[in-house]
Every structure is written in C-alpha cells, then in structure tokens.
Chains A and B, each alone.
Chain A
Amino acid sequence: MQVQLKVNGKAATLDVAPNTLLVQAIREQLRLTGTHVGCDTAQCGACTVLVDGHAIKSCNTLAAQHPGAEITTIEGIAAADGTMHPMQAAFKECHGLQCGFCTPGMVMSALDLCRQSPQASEGEIRDLLEGNICRCTGYQNIVKAVQQGQAAMARA
C-alpha cells in the first residue's frame, strides 16, 4: 500500500506492507539510519522521531497509521548548511553522549520536552526522559545538555 509522508520537509511516497513499522519505513526505505532500534518492546526510545511535532517511538506504530504526517528525524533538525540545532550543539558541549546510539532518540525526545515544558526543572527533565534509555552516560550530562538546549531554544 502507498503512504504519503512529509519527511524532514520533503514529500515522500512509500510503498509499504500493512505491517511495516514506521521505524522500518524510515530506516529501510528512506535510508535515514540515524533513527535506531535498541529494543523490541518500545522501552528504550532509540527510535524516537517527531510526528507532527510530537515525539513518538517509531518502533511502536505502523507507517500506514500516519498518512500525510510530517515526520522529523535526527537528520532533519540541523540547518541546511550543516550547523547543528541548538539542542544538538548542547549535547556536544555538555558531553551528553558517548557511543551515540541512543543519542538521536534522546535529542528528539529533548526537543518535544522543551516544547511541552520550556521551564522544566532538573527533576522534571529526568522524569520526562524516562522513556529513553542510555547505557553510557549515567544521564547527568544529558540532563545538563537538555537544560542548556532549553535555554538556547528559549533565546532563539
């Protein structure tokens, strides 16, 4: 079946099986491999993308459920000249990543978190990141990065 999507600002028509997960469509058909699969139970959040501005776990929904949706993946948030989004820059500045595997999902969750709760405190940020597992960083620097990204986005 055909599904029309707008992915990172570009229209895309996908020919998918009805049981194709959104993450499979993103990774395998669109070849946007920044979105990762870290588990099979929708627990880890490495596959998080924005659908119409809301963070969702793309391993837990079918591509066919989102006709006409605007999808934003990690590949779609930097400026056209490659300049990183303030949240990406904050992760680098605060050393909020190590192996980088959970990072795209973490950044996408952070963007939605800042949209929902622009004033979130450290405790609230920890709470709101509950859906994303990082095995490397111990989260401290991720929380710091989100705070810094939050401040930068508020200024922008």
Chain B
Amino acid sequence: MGASDFSKLPHIGEAIRRKEDYRFLTGAGQYTDDINLANQRVAVFVRSPHAHAAIRSIDASRAEAMPGVARVFTGKDVEGKMGGLPCGWLITSTDGTPMKEPPHPILAQGKVRYVGDHVAMVVADTLQQAKDAAEAVEVEYDVLPAVVRVEDAKKGPALHDAAPDNRCYKWAIGDKAQVDAAFAKAAHVTKLDLVNNRLVPNPLEPRAAIGSYNRASDEYTLYVSNQNPHVERLLMTAFVLGLPEHKVRVIAPDVGGGFGAKIYLYAEDVALTWAAKQLNCAIKWTCERSEAFLCDAHGRDHVSHAEMAMDQDGKFLALRVHTDANLGAYLSTFSTAVPTILYATLLAGQYTTPQVYCEVDAWFTNTAPVDAYRGAGRPEATYLLERLVTRCAWEMGLGQDEIRNRNFITQFPYQTPVALQYDTGDFHACMDKAKKLAEVEGFAARRKASEARGLKRGIGYSSYIEACGIAPSNIAGALGARAGLFECGEIRVHPTGSVTVFTGSHSHGQGHETSFAQVVAARLGIPIENVDVVHGDTGRVPFGMGTYGSRSISVGGAAIMRALDKIETKAKKIAAHLMEASDADIEFAGGEFTVKGTDKKIPFGQVALTAYVPHNYPLDKLEPGLNETAFYDPTNFTFPGGTYIAEVEVDPATGVVRIDRFTAVDDFGTIINPMIVEGQVHGGLAQGIGQALMEQCVYDRETGQLLTGSFMDYAMPRADDLPSFRLDTNATPCTHNPLGTKGCGEAGAIGSPPAVINAVLDALADLGVKDIDMPASPSRVWEAIQAAR
C-alpha cells in the first residue's frame, strides 16, 4: 500500500485518545525504579569530585567491611575483563586520518576526566548502606589542570594520550575553493559569531537500571530506562562484555522521557550487568537528579563563525562556516555524528545557496560527554543559519520574511551542496500560513501599544528543515555508522482476529501504543481496541534500532506496513481458498475480503481463525498461522520543515523577555494522530524556548566544577514561563515511505531558538543591541542593553 492510499484509510488523521494513558493516570505505569527483583542489592557509584586528576590510590577496605556491603568494584576489577564504551560513529578527518577514539573505561583507569566520572561501584543490601560505604571509599587524587571550553582545550594539557592536542577530528564538507570564489565576487557578506549553549536533557525520570543474572540458565537480564534496548544489548554484548546476545535480555519498560539522553550505552548499565554475575544477585541503581546532571550525556555546546555571501538582491551565493564542537571528556555513543553528519549536512536549510562549506573541529574537555539531545545537530544548524539569515535581512534592508521568500527552494527533488536530497516541501506555503496565523499585519500596532507601556516588542522568523528517519543503512555506513539504521516490525494475528504488534522502536512518551495501533487497525479494518503494541523488550521483539531522530513512524511504522503487506498477501490466499476464488480476484478493504465482481465476502476475523484452525485450508500450498515480520531500511531521510514566528515583549528596565505569541507551521507529511503530533510540537517548543531564554549548563572555567548541578541552579521551563502556542500544518507527504510521514518529535526544539532570539534582537534593535547569545536571560538582556548605551 502506498502513501496516498494509506492517508485515505478511516481513522488516519483522527485524534484518537491514547491507549497508554489509563495506566499512567492511575499510577499503574511501571518505570524501572518501580521494579524490584528477588535477591536484589543496590549499587551506588563513587564519582570523581575533580574535573581532571590522576588516581594515586583507592582503598576500599574500610567500605567493604561496613554492614551490608557485598563488594566495592574499582577500575582494577574490570581492567582486562571488558572493553570500554564504544563510539557508534567513526569520523575521518579531512587529512584522511581516523578520529581519535581514546579508551572510555567502565570504571576509571588511572585518571578521572570530568566531575562525576566513575571511580568505583559499591554494592550493598540497602541504599543507605551503599551510600554510607561509598563515603568510606578512600581515593587519593593528584589534581591536574582542567579544560572546560574549546578555546582552552586548544592550548590546554592533554586529556588523553591518544589525542595529544585534545582534538578528536578536523572534518569538513563542501567545496572550499568554489565557496571562496563565490565570496570573492559577492556584493555583500554578512558575518556572525555565535554560541550554541550546552544543555542538560533532563527527562523527568532519572536513569535507572537493574542488572540480574540467572546461574541456572547463564542468562543476564537488564532492566534499563533506555530508548533503544536492542542497540543497548548489541553494544554491550558485541563491544564491551563479549557475551552472546541470546544470553542477554534488555527490557526498557515504561520510560519517563528520553530526549536523546537515554539513547546511549552508559558505564552504569555495563557495570551492573557484569557485577550481577560476579555476586550472583540482581543489582539496582537509580540515578539521583544531581547525579544525572553530572553523568547524563549533555547536548549542544558549539562555538561557530558563519559568513553568507550575497548578490545585490540578497540572493545567497555561498555559506562558509567554522564550528568548534565540545565533545566532553569521552566519546558518547553518537557524539561524533552530531556536529558532522547531523549538523553540517543541514546547513543549506530551505535555501538555494549554491555553495556551502563547513569545517568542524571536535575537542575533548573535562566536562560530561556531549551527545545527541532533541534534534541533535539540526537545532545547531538551524540556529546558526536562521540567525545568520535574519542578520542578512537586516543588513540588506529586507524583511525577515522577504529574504527567506527570495531564497526558498521551489523545485523538488532538490540536491543540496552538502549531501542531502530533499524529496518534497512547500516552503512558501508554510511561510504564508505562519504569517497569517501570527497576524503579522497587526504587528506594528501591537509594537506601538507595547511602547506606550514602556516595553520593546520584536518579531523573529525561523524557517527550518531537518533530516529525520535516520536513514539508509548503506549511506549511514559510508558516513561512519557502526550500526544499521533500519527498523523491524512483527504482526501477530491471533485466532480470533485480534492483533499484537511488536515494534523495534521504543515509546517513552510519544504515544506509539496508540499511533502504531491506529495504523494497524486502519489497515486491517478492525477496532483499535483489538490491537496491542509491544515494544522495549529484546526478549519479545525480534529486533530494533529504537527511537531517536523522529524515526519511529517513518521507519518503524514503515516496517509495520511492510509486515501488513505480507499479512494481507497471505490472508488473501486464505480468503481465496474459503471463497473458492482465484487469489488475484480477492480485494481487501474495511476489514472484509471480497471477490471482485461478486457479492461474496468474509470478514478478517474468519480468515484469522481459519489460519489457526486449518480444517478448511490449503495446507498443501500454505503454512497455517498468520504472523509476519518485516525489516524496513529507508531509501532516504525524511525532511520535515516549517516556518516559526515568535513575538516577544522585552522590559528594558529589567531585561525580562516575555513571549507574547508563538506561531509554528510545520510540514510533517501525513499525520496519523494530530493530537499526538501537536503534543510533540508543544514539548519541542518548550525545550527550544527553554534553550533560547533559560537553560544553560555551566561549568566553572578554572576548576571544571559543574555550577548548574540541580533544578535549583539549572532553569527548567515551568508552566508560567511559556505561552499557549498557535499551530498549523501544511503537508507535502514524504515520497519514499509507505505512509508519507516525515517525523515531528524534534521540530519544535529545532525551529524555535532562532525565532526567539531573532525576536529579542528585533525588539532591542533601536537600542543598539546587535547580538546576544542564548540563553537570553534577564541579566544577559539587561547587560546587552547597558553595553549598547
């Protein structure tokens, strides 16, 4: 079934209420910390208090003698017994040398490299005993100088022997000579320096894990709050512990948000799993929030210089970018892909810029590892480009909408100069719709009214594009991925016609149990109540690559559609047998099989029953049962895009920015459940606006201590920080997956930061403020106003 037939099925596009909500609303959800196993102990990690230090000695003898303590594991215990954490994406520098991949040990070997680095794991009968014993582990450190920012890493002491200059890679994309030539003949060049602030993802459920081991079967089970249990198992078994996969089961039960932070294989997960066998028990670890600030993968942290060359009409000729990316102390699972493949390839944006060249230097620093956070590379690209484009507009004396309209791509498919081929889109339509919904024509009057109250009002535009549904395995492999990027789906039709769907993608708030069931119910013409969705368990789901990069429906849903194709093909043969017709004459619609040109029909349920009670069945030609599995590897990314318009009021006396209205018009292709899609956009906008105005992970530059180490210090957006949003969509369905979907999970976080900052700068323009970095907190805005005076 193709995308256009799919979108016409009944209930596709309907805001069906979520099947999963009952358990979450009645306290019956089961998150990892809610689970307790028999013979379970508790682990606490001893973490480095220093950003950079040599470990002179560790004495755990006093701790091990304390009540209830089973063992204290240190680096010596794991050395030589397991590998370190692998990086999942290999980047090659422009000079042809491989990236520097220093060891990432499960427990520190000789040195610690960030505050929170794992030094020892204490296992005891109770949490209190483990905490007390962790305090008693005596570690002597020789403190070394710390580097926190990339500018310091360039000249600071080496963190790793494998990377003496602290550089992981020096990478580039695009044709530098062509770009330089275009700049040489440009009518105008606009330049911009900007920082993409480091963020802490902060899913509300802190990470948690229980490692357990069954000596009788020699099997491990790991419960873990994770976005992709099969990938976790693959990395842990194949790369770290050398265990056979069939002996390891990873279960990610209800997961309280991920946003990228739970994609990765973390040292804690490996240590718990391994130690469960050593102690022949289950071992549980639940991260505390202040601990999560230290040891969850952080996001963003780029410093960039960007230049746009234009002709006299404001048509873009070439874009030149240099970015320094802070990767933190070690390479987290997908960290290396973020500032390269997921970032620089998006720098064409929605525009026909004929030449783009981007250089990326990636650095090690004494900070927590940085990896993909909601949007992963695309927010960084969009922030840079959309800030630059608005500045181009101002320098050229054009409206923010006008410069975008002049440069939008209008012909599809469109090959960008930075590798991607966009299949479809209508950027002018999104812009027009957004302007109407934002009531842009009334802005001047609203600005006047604000001024009468002593406030500055500004409007900011952002037209983003992103690449979702990551992506063809062969291309990903050519670009350095160590894993495939397909998805798996299994459809198990039961004898009475109800269906269980097994999907390799994972739901941690995205509502898969509803939207996936909606797809299957619509396709089979059965009630949604008759479809259950199973995910998050390597013991039940055949395989999967998990949920990130807005890939679930476009890749995971497509795999389910492929499995449904197979179900339909087999079911038609069964129906043909029952109705004594030829296979080719059977049609299937609305839950019924009919014989073309006759009034013969049988319902789906009867075919299902026949498959399992095969008394009247073509057993000579067909196996009994109705159960099919499909693996789907996409042929391209999907490309959601849209235009966002922020309108803000700034109080020049206090620097406080208030978002008065926020408008988002997105192109997500086919929409299965608009309620869920809107919810995803709302959440993304909250995180993007949080980045723009509030959120900032701060390390002390001298000591490498984390200064924003709890919700007391790190400003999380709360209900009264945000407005209600104005949303609409304008669909151009994806041309290469069977649903026409594009992905919606990250759009809000990608498109909103530049819209907000452009609006703040628009508001402050006549005060002489030319630039401001995120987060535009009251103090920063106030200081910028004072500095401009």
* A residues apposed to B, CB below 8 Å: 27, 32-41, 43-44, 46, 73-75, 78, 82, 84, 88, 91-93, 95, 97-104, 107, 122-123, 125-127, 129-130, 132-143
Q: Which residue on B lies nearest to A74, using beta carbons?
A: B27
User: Is B445's beta carbon under 8 Å from chain A?
Assistant: no
Q: Which residue on A lies nearest to B676, using beta carbons?
A: A95
Q: Report the separation of the CA atoms of residues A41 and B685 in the bound assembly, to the nearest whole angstrom.
A: 26
With a cutoff of 8 Å between Cβ atoms, the chain B residues found around residue A126 in the complex are 719-720, 722
Q: Would A99 and B28 count as touching, CB distance under 8 A?
A: no
Q: Report the separation of the CA atoms of residues A38 and B203 in the bound assembly, to the nearest whole angstrom.
A: 9
Please give 16 more A-B residue pairs, beta carbons under 8 A apart, in addition to A126-B719, A133-B716, A135-B716.
Answer: A36-B256, A38-B206, A43-B712, A44-B204, A95-B678, A97-B24, A98-B511, A99-B24, A99-B254, A101-B29, A101-B205, A101-B256, A102-B256, A134-B204, A135-B257, A138-B683
Q: Report the separation of the CA atoms of residues A144 and B599 in the bound assembly, to the nearest whole angstrom.
A: 49
User: Is B152's beta carbon under 8 Å from chain A?
Assistant: no
User: Is B584's beta carbon under 8 Å from chain A?
Assistant: no
A35-B27, A43-B712 as given contacts; A143 in contact with B202, CB under 8 Å: no
Q: Would B31 and A36 count as touching, CB distance under 8 A?
A: yes
Q: Would A33 and B34 count as touching, CB distance under 8 A?
A: yes
Q: Report the separation of the CA atoms of residues A135 and B27 in the bound assembly, to the nearest whole angstrom.
A: 18
Minimum C-beta distance from B525 to chain A (A): 26
Q: Report the separation of the CA atoms of residues A107 and B29 in the bound assembly, to the nearest whole angstrom.
A: 15
With a cutoff of 8 Å between Cβ atoms, the chain A residues found around residue B33 in the complex are 33, 37
Q: Would A101 and B31 count as touching, CB distance under 8 A?
A: yes
Q: Would A99 and B21 count as touching, CB distance under 8 A?
A: no
With a cutoff of 8 Å between Cβ atoms, the chain B residues found around residue A139 in the complex are 682, 686, 717-719, 722
A43-B711, A133-B718 as given contacts; A92 in contact with B683, CB under 8 Å: no
User: Is B103's beta carbon under 8 Å from chain A?
Assistant: no
With a cutoff of 8 Å between Cβ atoms, the chain A residues found around residue B683 in the complex are 98, 135-138
Minimum C-beta distance from B128 to chain A (A): 8
User: Is B154's beta carbon under 8 Å from chain A?
Assistant: no
Q: Would B685 and A138 count as touching, CB distance under 8 A?
A: yes
B30-58: CB near A (< 8 Å → 1, else 0) gives: 11011000000000000000000000000
With a cutoff of 8 Å between Cβ atoms, the chain A residues found around residue B678 in the complex are 95
Q: Would A135 and B259 count as touching, CB distance under 8 A?
A: yes
Q: Which parts of B230-275 form the interface with A (CB within 8 Å)? A: 254-257, 259
Contact size range, B: 35 or more
A99-B256, A141-B682 as given contacts; A92 in contact with B289, CB under 8 Å: no
Q: Would A34 and B27 count as touching, CB distance under 8 A?
A: yes
Q: Report the separation of the CA atoms of residues A20 and B225 in the bound assembly, to the nearest whole angstrom.
A: 26
Q: Would B686 and A95 count as touching, CB distance under 8 A?
A: no
Q: Would A99 and B27 count as touching, CB distance under 8 A?
A: no
Chain B interface mostly helix, strand, loop or mixed? loop
Q: Would B204 and A102 count as touching, CB distance under 8 A?
A: yes
Q: Report the separation of the CA atoms of residues A141 and B255 in the bound assembly, to the nearest whole angstrom.
A: 20
Minimum C-beta distance from B92 to chain A (A): 36
With a cutoff of 8 Å between Cβ atoms, the chain A residues found around residue B17 in the complex are 92-93, 95
Q: Report the separation of the CA atoms of residues A102 and B508 in the bound assembly, to the nearest whole angstrom.
A: 13
List the 8 shortest-distance A-B pairs measured between CB atoms, nearest first: A34-B27, A100-B24, A101-B256, A99-B509, A138-B682, A43-B711, A98-B509, A138-B686
B286-313: CB near A (< 8 Å → 1, else 0) gives: 0011100000000000000000000000
Q: Would B676 and A34 count as touching, CB distance under 8 A?
A: no
Q: Would A99 and B204 count as touching, CB distance under 8 A?
A: yes
A35-B27, A38-B289, A43-B712 as given contacts; A127 in contact with B720, CB under 8 Å: yes
With a cutoff of 8 Å between Cβ atoms, the chain B residues found around residue A135 in the complex are 202-204, 257, 259, 683, 686-687, 716
Q: Report the separation of the CA atoms of residues A44 and B265 in the bound assembly, to the nearest whole angstrom.
A: 26
User: Is B25's beta carbon under 8 Å from chain A?
Assistant: yes
With a cutoff of 8 Å between Cβ atoms, the chain A residues found around residue B202 in the complex are 135
Q: Report the separation of the CA atoms of residues A33 and B720 in the bound assembly, to the nearest whole angstrom.
A: 28
Q: Would A138 and B722 count as touching, CB distance under 8 A?
A: yes
Q: Would B710 and A40 count as touching, CB distance under 8 A?
A: yes
Q: Which parts of B697-738 form the interface with A (CB within 8 Å)? A: 710-712, 716-720, 722, 724-725
Minimum C-beta distance from B683 to chain A (A): 5
Q: Would A99 and B25 count as touching, CB distance under 8 A?
A: no
Contact residue among B34, B206, B257, B722 (Cβ-Cβ distance under 8 Å from A136)? B257
With a cutoff of 8 Å between Cβ atoms, the chain B residues found around residue A39 in the complex are 289, 710-711
Q: Would B26 and A75 count as touching, CB distance under 8 A?
A: yes
Q: Report the separation of the CA atoms of residues A138 and B681 in the bound assembly, to the nearest whole angstrom.
A: 8
Q: Would A130 and B509 count as touching, CB distance under 8 A?
A: no
A34-B28, A84-B25, A138-B683 as given contacts; A100 in contact with B675, CB under 8 Å: no
Q: Which residue, A100, A125, A140, has most C-beta atoms of chain B within 10 A?
A: A100
Minimum C-beta distance from B41 to chain A (A): 15
